[in-house]
Amino acid sequence: MSTSRTPVPRSRRGQAMAPPPIPIPAGAFETADGTVLHWLGMAGFLVRSRGTLLMTDPLLQVFDMPVLLDFPLDAADVPRLDAVLVTHVDNDHCSLPTLTALAPVTRSLHTTEYVASVLQDAGLDAEGHDIGARFSVEDVQVEVSPGSASSATRTAAASGSRPRTA
C-alpha cells in the first residue's frame, strides 16, 4: 500500500515549519449560529460560538523569538472579542504585545491566578481562576483544567493507551 505525503515546508536553515494559516476574513467576527474555529497559528484559535467570540493563546505579532509562519490576522483588524483565554505564562501563549494590542476590543481576559497576577503587573485587566473553576463568557461555559504533557503521559500509561498530541 502506498501513501502519498505532502512535503513538509522548511525554513532556509532546514527547520520544519507549520503549513501557512488560512487568512481570517472580517466575516469571522459577525454573529452567526453554530461554532467555527479559526487557527491563529501556534496554539491560538479564534472561536465563534453562536455569536460569542473568544481567542485562546493569541500570538498575532512578532515577539522575542523567530516565528516561522505568517499570522492569519493582524491584531489591529480584530473588531471585538468577548474574551481572551490564556492557558499559561509562556510567551508563545501569553504574548504581552498581542494582549496589549487586543485589550481595547476585548471585554474580558481570563487565565489562571498566577498568570493573571503577571498580566495585572503589566497593566492588563485580567481575571484569574483556580484549576477546576468554571465560568461563563456569554453562553459559552469554560472549565479551567490542569494540563501538561507529563500528566497526559501518566494518564495514558495508567489507562494502557498512548497519549494523543495535537
Most confident of the following: 12-16, 64-68, 93-97, 98-102:
98-102
- Which cell numbers in the block locate residue 71? 499570522
Q: Are strands 44-49 and 52-56 parallel, antiparallel or unpaired?
A: antiparallel
27 or 162, greater pLDDT: 27
Q: Report the top-level CATH class of 26-159.
A: alpha beta
* pLDDT digits 0-9 by tens, 48-66: 999 999 999 999 987 777 7
Contact 137, 82 (CB under 8 A): yes
Q: Are strands 83-85 and 109-112 parallel, antiparallel or unpaired?
A: parallel
Q: Are strands 127-129 and 44-49 parallel, antiparallel or unpaired?
A: unpaired
pLDDT band at 100 (very low <50, low <70, confident <90, very high): very high
CA–CA gap between residue 163 and residue 166 (Å, rounded): 10
The rounded percent of the chain whose pLDDT value lies above 70 is: 86
To the nearest 10°, report the CA torsion of 76, 78, 79, 84: -120
Span between the terminal Cα atoms of the chain, in Å? 26
58 three-class SS = coil
Q: What pLDDT shows up at residue 160?
A: 42
Which residue in 32, 23, 31, 104 sits closest to 60, CA to CA? Answer: 23
Q: Please state the pTM of the whole predicted model.
A: 0.79
Contact 22, 40 (CB under 8 A): no
Which residue in 44, 38, 43 sits closest to 26, CA to CA? Answer: 38
